[in-house]
């Protein structure tokens, strides 16, 4: 891309304010929606129980903890290798932003699962010696050794729980967006130019969504459309970062062709990508819905819907 991007003439084109509106308006709507949701007294309460417990009746939550810890270490190693090769430049791309967020989610989820498993140890086994971890059995069959432990198990999730759920839903939508854009748009577009698709690059654009789907198959976290607001803000934050980098003259080319402003089609590209967020988030919402619809029928005695 030519160095004229650093000049004022680039930023006074008519496409710029139109594209800016496409970024700012959704961001303001999302912020207002999140604020209103947090102020509602009757909004759905996230339980601490949902954060660390499995949706499988006889599956010890320790397995979910181990899965999250393994996912964190594996994804963190991939991110480390990517940064070791390209340096801080790796975070010039939305993929690495999202991948880092997925790593952070699994780090937080591992800590929350470890705490939940530790708290669940403060219980006395049932009369038949079996240990199960459903909400109903915690209420009706398990006698906790202290009132404090019972309060900890059933209390609202609090700020850490809300943060974890927001990260989970943001990662879900962003990972689907990243992988679909890469495999369905960028790879075909770059097929005619010199582009080396390495194993690491392919893994970075695959295991983010796969690891989250694995977590979804085990966890009891609710997945609602309200999380779309965080997903939208995440993408708006990234584009704002790109605009600042280019306005300051640190970069003269865009990491993704559809972010280029020096074309009459720029507003259509920005608007199209904004709309594309809806089906990306919807795909993951359908995965969760399918989980809660089909698994109880296939495994009526093993699967427990926790939310």
In a domain, 39, yes or no: no
Question: Model confidence at 3, in pLDDT bands (50, 70, 90)?
Answer: very low
Specify the long-range contacts of residues 248-257, CB closer than 8 Å, at least 24 apart.
249/5, 249/6, 251/5, 251/92, 252/1, 252/2, 252/3, 252/5, 252/6, 253/1, 253/5, 254/1, 255/92, 255/93, 255/94, 256/94, 256/181, 256/186, 257/189
Q: What is the chain's mean pLDDT, rounded?
A: 86
pLDDT, greater one: 259 or 122: 259
DSSP track, 168-189: HHHHHHHHHHHHHHIIIIIHHH
User: Which stretch of 191-195, 198-202, 286-290 has the lowest confidence by average pLDDT?
Assistant: 191-195
Is residue 87 a part of any domain in this protein? yes
Largest CA distance in the chain: 77
- The domain total for the chain is 1
pLDDT of residue 112: 94
Give me the percent of the chain exceeding a pLDDT of 90. Answer: 68
> Does some domain include residue 126?
yes
**pLDDT given for residue 123 in this prediction:** 53
Answer whether residue 288 shows pLDDT above 80.
yes
Give a yes or no: residue 197 inside a domain.
no
**Mean pLDDT across 178-200:** 84
* pLDDT value of position 122: 65
Span 73-113, pLDDT tens digits: 999 999 999 999 999 999 999 999 999 999 999 999 999 99
pLDDT at residue 27 greater than cutoff 50: yes
306, part of any domain: no
pLDDT computed for residue 135 by the predictor: 45
- pLDDT (0 to 100) of residue 306: 62
Per-residue pLDDT of 50-82, as tens digits, reads 899 999 998 999 999 999 999 999 999 999 999
Is residue 26 pLDDT above 70, yes or no? yes
117 is in which domain, residue-wise?
A: 47-171
Is residue 122 a part of any domain in this protein? yes
Residue 131 in any domain: the answer is yes
Q: Is the pLDDT of residue 175 over 90?
A: yes
For position 217, what pLDDT does the model report? 96
Distance (Å) of CA 193 to CA 187, 189, 196, 198: 10, 8, 9, 15
Q: What is the pLDDT of residue 139?
A: 42
- The predicted-structure confidence for 124-143, as pLDDT tens digits, reads as follows 444 444 444 444 444 433 33
Alpha-carbon distance of 262 to 7, in angstroms, equals: 12
307 pLDDT tier (thresholds 50, 70, 90): low
Gap between the Cα atoms of 198 and 204, Å rounded: 10
Judge whether 57 lies within some domain: yes
Q: Which pLDDT score is estimated for 120?
A: 78
- Sign of the dihedral through C-alpha 247, 251, 252, 256: negative
pLDDT (0 to 100) of residue 130 = 42
């Amino acid at each position: 891309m030519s160095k004229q991007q650093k000049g004022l003439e680039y930023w006074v084109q008519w496409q710029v304010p139109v594209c800016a509106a496409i970024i700012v308006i959704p961001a303001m709507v999302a912020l207002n929606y999140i604020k209103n949701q947090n102020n509602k007294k009757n909004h759905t309460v996230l339980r601490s129980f949902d954060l660390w417990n499995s949706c499988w009746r006889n599956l010890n939550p320790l397995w979910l903890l181990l899965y999250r810890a393994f996912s964190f270490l594996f994804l963190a190693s991939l991110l480390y290798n990517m940064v070791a090769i390209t340096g801080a430049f790796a975070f010039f791309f939305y993929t690495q932003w999202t991948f880092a967020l997925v790593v952070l989610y699994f780090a937080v989820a591992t800590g929350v699962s470890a705490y939940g498993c530790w708290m669940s140890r403060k219980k006395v086994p049932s009369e038949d010696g079996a240990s199960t971890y459903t909400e109903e059995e915690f209420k009706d069959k398990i006698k906790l050794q202290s009132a404090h432990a019972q309060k900890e198990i059933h209390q609202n999730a609090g700020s850490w729980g809300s943060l974890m759920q927001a990260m989970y839903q943001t990662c879900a939508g962003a990972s689907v967006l990243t992988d679909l854009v890469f495999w369905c748009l960028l790879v075909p577009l770059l097929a005619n130019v010199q582009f080396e698709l390495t194993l690491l690059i392919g893994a970075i654009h695959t295991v983010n969504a796969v690891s989250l789907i694995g977590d979804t198959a085990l966890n009891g976290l609710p997945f609602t459309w309200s999380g779309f607001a965080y997903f939208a803000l995440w993408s708006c934050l990234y584009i704002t970062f790109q605009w600042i980098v280019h306005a300051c003259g640190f970069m003269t080319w865009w990491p993704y062709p559809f972010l280029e402003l020096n074309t009459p089609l720029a507003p259509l590209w920005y608007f199209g990508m904004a709309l594309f967020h809806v089906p990306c988030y919807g795909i993951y919402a359908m995965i969760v819905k399918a989980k809660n619809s089909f698994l109880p029928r296939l495994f009526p005695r093993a699967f427990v819907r926790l939310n």
